[in-house]
Amino acid sequence: MFEFCADPSILPDWQWFACYLTSGTHLAFYRSFLVVILLLMITAPVALGMGMLGALALRSHSVPLNLIGRGYVNLIRGVPDIVFFLFVPIALGQGIEWVLHQINCPDWDQPIRQGNDFIVCREAKMPPVGASAWTRNVYGFTMAIIAFALVFGAFVANTLHGAMQAVPRAQVETAESYGMTRAQAFRRIVLPQMWVFALPGLSNIWQILVKATPLLFLLGIQDAVFWARELGGAKTSLYTYPHPDWRVWYFLALLVFYLFLTWISERGFGWLTVRLSRGQATAEGERQRRRAA
Partner 1 sequence: MKKLTLTLAALALTASGAAAQDVVRMGTEGAYPPFNFINDNNELEGFEIDLGNAMCERAGLTCEWVINDWDTIIPNLVAGNYDTIIAGMSITEARQEVISFTQNYKEPDPSRYAALIGTDPSVIDNGVIATQSNTVQAGYVAETDADLIEFPTPDETIAAVRAGEADAVLADGDFLRPIVEESSDLEFIGDPMHIGGGVGMGLRQSDDELREAFDAVITEMKEDGSLNELLIRWFGEDTPTF
Containing 97, the helix (H) or strand (E) segment is: helix 81-104
Rounded to a whole number of angstroms, the minimum distance from the CB of residue 229 to partner 1 is: 7
Rounded to a whole number of angstroms, the minimum distance from the CB of residue 256 to partner 1 is: 22
Rounded to a whole number of angstroms, the minimum distance from the CB of residue 149 to partner 1 is: 22
Rounded to a whole number of angstroms, the minimum distance from the CB of residue 217 to partner 1 is: 8
DSSP 8-state symbol, 79: S
Would you say 106 or 130 has its CB closer to partner 1? Answer: 130
CB 50 within 8 A of CB 69: no
Would you say 120 or 147 has its CB closer to partner 1? Answer: 120
Which residues form the interface with partner 1 (CB under 8 A)?
23-25, 27-28, 90, 93-94, 97, 114-120, 122, 125, 129-130, 133, 220, 222, 229-230, 233-234, 236-242, 245, 247
Would you say 30 or 271 has its CB closer to partner 1? Answer: 30
Among residues 224, 220, 290, 291, which one has the least CA distance to residue 261? 224
3-state secondary structure of 50: helix
Rounded to a whole number of angstroms, the minimum distance from the CB of residue 235 to partner 1 is: 8
Number of CB atoms found within 10 A of residue 137's CB:
16
Among residues 254, 214, 208, which one has the least CA distance to residue 231? 254
Would you say 2 or 263 has its CB closer to partner 1? Answer: 2
First to last CA, the chain: 61
Rounded to a whole number of angstroms, the minimum distance from the CB of residue 180 to partner 1 is: 53
Query: Taking the mean position of all CA atoms in its chain, how far away is CA 280?
Result: 30
Cα–Cα distance measured from residue 133 to residue 156, given in angstroms and rounded to the nearest whole number = 34
Would you say 83 or 264 has its CB closer to partner 1? Answer: 83
Rounded to a whole number of angstroms, the minimum distance from the CB of residue 237 to partner 1 is: 6
Cα–Cα distance measured from residue 144 to residue 167, given in angstroms and rounded to the nearest whole number = 34
Query: Which residues are within 8 A (CB) of 52 and not within 5 positions of it... i.e. 6 or more apart?
Result: 156, 157, 160
Would you say 175 or 221 has its CB closer to partner 1? Answer: 221
Would you say 44 or 225 has its CB closer to partner 1? Answer: 225
Q: What are the φ and ψ backbone dihedral angles of 113, each rounded to 5 degrees?
A: -100, 115
Cα–Cα distance measured from residue 269 to residue 150, given in angstroms and rounded to the nearest whole number = 23
